[in-house]
Chain A
Amino acid sequence: MKRRLLLLLPLVGFLLLSGFLYMGLSLDPFQRDSALLAREFPEFQLSTLEDSEVLVDESLLKGEVTLVNVWGEWCPTCKQEMPQLLSLAERGVRLIGVDYKDTRAKGQEFLEEFGNPFEVNVFDPEGDLGFELGVYGAPETFLVDRDGIIRYHHTGYIKPEDVVQTILPEVRKWQ
């Protein structure tokens, strides 16, 4: 009898697993912010917006908690978002921009007009980095910890109240 029970074990284990798989069906791992969470920031190699001679890669994000903001001159919401980003920069948050599907001239114009909260801007004219990040549009913001791991993903506009209520607490959490 004991042995018979032992032989049932694989079945029990499988049923348990199936239960989880069934629950998994109703969950959505592709939920926008989850796909890249806890993953390393994708590898990239692009020039900076400021200088086409300077190449940067993902090592740019190591060593300090960083907010990576994907923006573009063509994106109206990005303009409205700039004051919030500037205030985050004033509070000592390190910001890096990704100028997404833009031209160099327009991107630089944009920063002159709306201010530049970014330490560096990565120039991504073809949208390759954006593709790796799974960006649907701009603006999108990623919080990357000091080891280069993505910890938080904000899709769309950062509202003025988000600065204190969401973004800053997240930044502090990982600092």
Chain B
Amino acid sequence: MLTKMIPEIGHFALVIALLMAFFQAVMPLAGAATRRPLWMAFARPMAAGQFLFVAVAYLCLTTSYMLDDFSVATVANNSNSMLPWYYKFSAVWGNHEGSVLLWSLILAGWTFAVSRFSRNLPEDMISRVLGVMGMVSSGFLLFVLVTSNPFERLLPVIPQDGADLNPLLQDFGLIIHPPMLYMGYVGFSVVFAFAIAALLGGRLDAAWTRWARPWTNIAWAFLTVGIALGSWWAYYELGWGGWWFWDPVENASLLPWLAGTALLHSLAVTEKRGSFKSWTVLLAILTFSLSLLGTFLVRSGVLTSVHAFANDPSRGLFILALLGVTVGLSLLVFALRAPRVSHTVAFSWVSRDALLLVNNILLVIMTVTVLLGTVYPLLLDALGLGKISVGPPYFNALFVPLTVILCVFMGLGPSARWKHMSARELFRRLGLASLAALIIGMFVPLAYGGEWNLWVSLGLVAALWIVLPMVRDLFEKIRRAGSLGDGLRKLSLAYWGMVLGHLGVAVTIIGVAVVSNYNVERNVRLAPGDSVQVAGYTFTMNELQSRRGPNYLSDMAFIEVSRDGSSRSFTMVPEKRLYIARGMPMTQVALRPGLFRDLYVAMGEDLGDGAWAMRIQYKPFVRWLWLGALLMAAGGVMAVIDRRYRLKRHQQVPLPASSTREVPV
């Protein structure tokens, strides 16, 4: 009896959560405006209650999936009794309704975390922050309940079995990709809330940036990992060996990442130097707005994409209204409350301040470039100028050069001093390392297969340009400290975070440059006994086999691979699956990963007579793409660990915000 009621319990919990979110939004904001401590005191309990009830609702939905309750429409449409339990678990967010619920759960979770970990914030500040987050929560919970109720029932005729989860989504990468991505998207709501709270309270000092920085770093790290996972998933799951398609949905995740990256740096400048105040607030609003815009683009059906959700115009309108209210209001607050007089903090054109300003401008240009390319088809269509689609050529032509320019400044930034330094001093610090980067970068590709390639060289130069000056800087710091041990101890975790983050960018750039240019691909026909050579490897098909999986049938090829001139060999097993419930064929790629190259075999069509079409690829350095992203994320997290420590110290010995000590960003 009780198990039959689970969906209703979930639905009811969601309604309670909405009410709590509403109170969490209204009372503390009103209280902060009228200075009533009692009203402000609503913030924390409501945040905790809201989180609890959204969690209950989410748990109920998950239980419905686990118990195969096909009377619930989303379960019937996205699950199947044959589905393994872990895919039932992840099927919850493999569809529109469940994924907005996950979005709300994560938002409530971040809100709760902020309320727990901000014990020593001024009461009016935390009230405003939680109030703003409560408003966003209210909007999303209302959206879930009104347009996308995941607990909708199919009564009285209950389907015998479910339609199954889309086979593309039955995969480990997809179990963790959306939660990571949402952690990032939604995490930016924290810095957004801090920025709005600072605007509302009229306290645009360095304080709010100090509080918001750790949250921003963590959200950014999650988003970085989320994007990398998405790219990795596309690489091994879609069977083409591509890792980035400039698809609108991918762009939707890249936009807040680019803006968020600018924000990370701008927050640092505001905290350390007290400059760029309005700009940082605007970036905070922009970053979260782009997260919301991404949500709108993916779910409203205004753009065509390979992985957009099933669409419904009423949902699109609702999210647009939500977007309009959230972003419109916050930009209005910004226009009205941003400081009237800009407090310019003087810095010269050769200084870390200036370099970070250039970094910000470039990142914003990149954001706008991607945004334009993404919505351009929509603009043209809306103006009646026809339907077009903007493809990779546009993005590559603009994004690649912009990245190279960004790298030029990235290489200079960490070695520069705040406020002012002479150009000669900067050159003394960097000259040798940069020259080495240029020379090594230009000539190393020659050693690789003897075929010089402009793009590979450019990528290597850019990467080394970032890394070598950092290495020099590190040596310099250790040398100054006297001994290696002292030097390493003196360097803060925030500094290491910066080094790791920048190193990550360099690693990713190397990966992109090499795999894009030295990739080898062959399409061949293979029957048992046939062999073929690709990029110095011999692929021999030994046998074909058929087998039956839990919810699919599959054909497998056993391919023996050996490197030319080596007697060791290994077996790769690509698969072609037919998922029974949907009758959908899927390619299961065989991968032989390696730090310096991947071998990639995808099974194509059955050509009859035991022969199959095979797509064999040799992908050098492809792992570096994701390795770099992991390094970046690790850097972001490492800087946070350090900040905790420093926050405590700050309380004991408050330092002036405009301290000119050389502190790493």
Contact = CB atoms under 8 A, between A and B. Distances in A.
Interface of A: 3-4, 7-8, 10-11, 14-15, 17-18, 20-31, 34-35, 37-40, 43, 45-47, 52-53, 55, 57, 126, 128
B340 A3 contact: yes
A45 B608 CA distance: 14
B530 interface: no
14 contacts: A10-B282, A10-B334, A10-B335, A11-B328, A14-B327, A18-B328, A20-B378, A21-B375, A24-B382, A31-B387, A37-B388, A39-B391, A45-B523, A52-B608
B372 to A, nearest CB: 11
B324 A18 contact: yes
Contacts of A26: 313
A24 B381 contact: yes
B577 to A, nearest CB: 12
B251 to A, nearest CB: 15
A30 B301 contact: yes
A40 B392 CA distance: 11
Interface of B: 240, 278, 282, 285-286, 289, 296, 300-304, 313, 316-317, 320, 323-324, 327-328, 331-332, 334-335, 338, 340-342, 375, 377-379, 381-382, 387-389, 391, 523, 525, 585, 604-605, 607-609, 613, 615
Contacts of A47: 605, 607-608, 613
A27 B523 contact: no
Nearest to B381: A27
Contacts of A40: 391
A43 B324 CA distance: 39
A43 B240 contact: yes
A52 B278 contact: no
A52 B609 CA distance: 9
Contacts of B388: 37-38
Contact of A7 (B278, B324, B389): B278
A130 to B, nearest CB: 12
A55 B525 contact: yes
B389 A37 contact: yes
A17 B375 contact: yes
A34 to B, nearest CB: 4
A45 B375 contact: no
Contacts of B317: 25
B342 A25 contact: no
Nearest to B392: A40
A117 to B, nearest CB: 25
Contacts of A35: 304
B638 to A, nearest CB: 33
B143 to A, nearest CB: 15
Nearest to B304: A29
B125 to A, nearest CB: 22
A18 B320 contact: yes
Contacts of A7: 278, 334-335, 338
Contacts of B240: 43
Contacts of B296: 21
Given A7-B338, A10-B286, 16 more contacts: A3-B342, A10-B335, A14-B289, A15-B328, A21-B302, A23-B382, A24-B300, A24-B303, A27-B381, A29-B302, A34-B304, A39-B389, A45-B613, A47-B613, A55-B607, A126-B605
A174 to B, nearest CB: 15
B332 A11 contact: yes
A85 B320 CA distance: 46
A71 B313 CA distance: 34
B247 to A, nearest CB: 11
A147 to B, nearest CB: 11
A39 B394 CA distance: 13
A11 B605 contact: no
A14 B391 CA distance: 24
Nearest to A40: B391
Contact of A25 (B300, B331, B335): B300
Closest 9 CB pairs of A and B: A24-B302, A23-B382, A11-B331, A34-B387, A7-B335, A8-B335, A24-B378, A29-B304, A25-B316
A15 B323 CA distance: 11
A86 B262 CA distance: 59
A7 B285 CA distance: 13
B335 A11 contact: yes
Contact of B607 (A10, A25, A52): A52
A149 to B, nearest CB: 9
B546 to A, nearest CB: 16
A24 B303 CA distance: 8
Contacts of A23: 382
A9 to B, nearest CB: 8
A151 to B, nearest CB: 11
Contacts of B609: 52
B139 to A, nearest CB: 15
A25 B387 CA distance: 15
Contacts of B303: 24, 29
Contacts of B338: 7
A126 B382 contact: no
Contacts of A8: 335
A29 B328 contact: no
A29 B301 contact: yes
A31 B604 CA distance: 30
B334 A11 contact: yes
A60 B335 CA distance: 57
A64 B384 CA distance: 30
A30 B304 contact: yes
A8 B333 CA distance: 10
A22 B523 contact: no
Given A10-B335, A45-B613, A38 B389 contact: yes
Given A17-B375, A18-B323, A22-B320, A29 B289 contact: no
Contact of A126 (B327, B331, B391, B585): B585
Contacts of A126: 585, 605
A40 B393 CA distance: 12
B301 A20 contact: no
Contacts of B323: 18, 21
A91 B302 CA distance: 40
A35 B331 CA distance: 34
Contact of A37 (B334, B382, B387, B613): B387
Residue in A23, A31, A128 with the greatest tally of chain B CB atoms within 10 Å: A23
A170 to B, nearest CB: 14
Contacts of A46: 604-605, 613
A20 B605 contact: no
A31 to B, nearest CB: 8
A43 B304 CA distance: 19
Contacts of B286: 10
B220 to A, nearest CB: 21
A64 B192 CA distance: 53
A36 to B, nearest CB: 9
Given A37-B389, A45-B615, A25 B320 contact: yes
A20 to B, nearest CB: 5
A13 to B, nearest CB: 9
Contacts of B525: 53, 55
Contacts of A29: 301-304, 377-378, 381, 387
Contacts of B605: 45-47, 126, 128
A3 B240 CA distance: 51
Given A7-B338, A21-B296, A14 B328 contact: yes
A11 B382 CA distance: 20
B302 A27 contact: yes
Nearest to A46: B605
A25 B389 contact: no
